[in-house]
A = this chain, B = another copy of it.
């Protein structure tokens, strides 16, 4: 059951979702430990978890004694330590393109809609609950517009964001789209993104990583 590899995550966390996809694509077994981001005042703030990750965010992967944080760094670590199948292209220009696509999501979209940010908009800045949706839709829309413009018609775009196998870019894109759909954002303006999303969701590695497939997801 992969007891040497423990993923601390939360079913609906986009960043944990990325790491699950990468582990599945690599065929790596792992034990899943839920860190509930709301219950008990947010279990990510508990002293035991904070000792693992002082940022008090999920995910955290403990891999044979290595404590790894930040999902994109974790995916690169998995790619370096388990090179097959590769999650980044072999050439520096291709790697730069994949990392840039991933970082559009990982830096400029996802962190703005993270739970702690939405909570602070209301609790720290005094906005009402409806602000969460306005804010989230705005930044997801900005990111998807840029991604669609970057992906559509580019010679390196294939069945997936870069070529015909999934990379770090797809690993970041799919959880962000899950989130976009949750916020009821129309994807009609992003046909290339939609096509890539469908190609990803056809793969078992992505299906098994889905929030609703996790042991800590609420029963529906």
Smallest Cβ-Cβ distance to A73: which chain B residue: B99
Tell me the minimal C-beta distance from A76 to chain B in angstroms. 6
Smallest Cβ-Cβ distance to A135: which chain B residue: B125
Q: Which of A70-128 contact B (CB under 8 A)?
A: 70, 72-74, 76-77, 80-81, 92-93, 95-96, 99-100, 102-104, 106-108, 110-112, 114, 117, 120-121, 124-125, 127
Check B69 against A95 for contact (C-beta < 8 Å): no
Residues of B within 8 A of A76 (CB): 95-96, 99
Q: Is the interface of A mostly helix, strand, loop or mixed?
A: helix
Tell me the minimal C-beta distance from A135 to chain B in angstroms. 7
User: Which of the residues B54, B81, B92 comes within 8 Å of A80, measured between beta carbons?
Assistant: B92
Check A69 against B111 for contact (C-beta < 8 Å): no
Tell me the minimal C-beta distance from A98 to chain B in angstroms. 8
User: What copy number does this chain have within its complex?
Assistant: 2
Question: Is A146's beta carbon under 8 Å from chain B?
Answer: yes
Question: Is A150's beta carbon under 8 Å from chain B?
Answer: yes
Check B100 against A57 for contact (C-beta < 8 Å): no
A138 to B120, CA, bound (A): 9
Question: Is A29's beta carbon under 8 Å from chain B?
Answer: no
Question: Is A149's beta carbon under 8 Å from chain B?
Answer: yes
Check A54 against B146 for contact (C-beta < 8 Å): yes
Residues of B within 8 A of A150 (CB): 54-55
Residues of B within 8 A of A66 (CB): 93, 96
Question: Is A134's beta carbon under 8 Å from chain B?
Answer: yes
A69 to B154, CA, bound (A): 15
Residues of B within 8 A of A117 (CB): 112
Residues of B within 8 A of A77 (CB): 92-93, 95-96
Residues of B within 8 A of A92 (CB): 77, 80-81
Extra 17 A-B pairs, beta carbons < 8 Å, given A77-B95, A120-B138? A55-B150, A57-B108, A66-B96, A68-B96, A68-B100, A70-B104, A72-B103, A73-B96, A73-B100, A74-B96, A76-B95, A77-B96, A80-B92, A107-B107, A111-B111, A112-B112, A125-B131
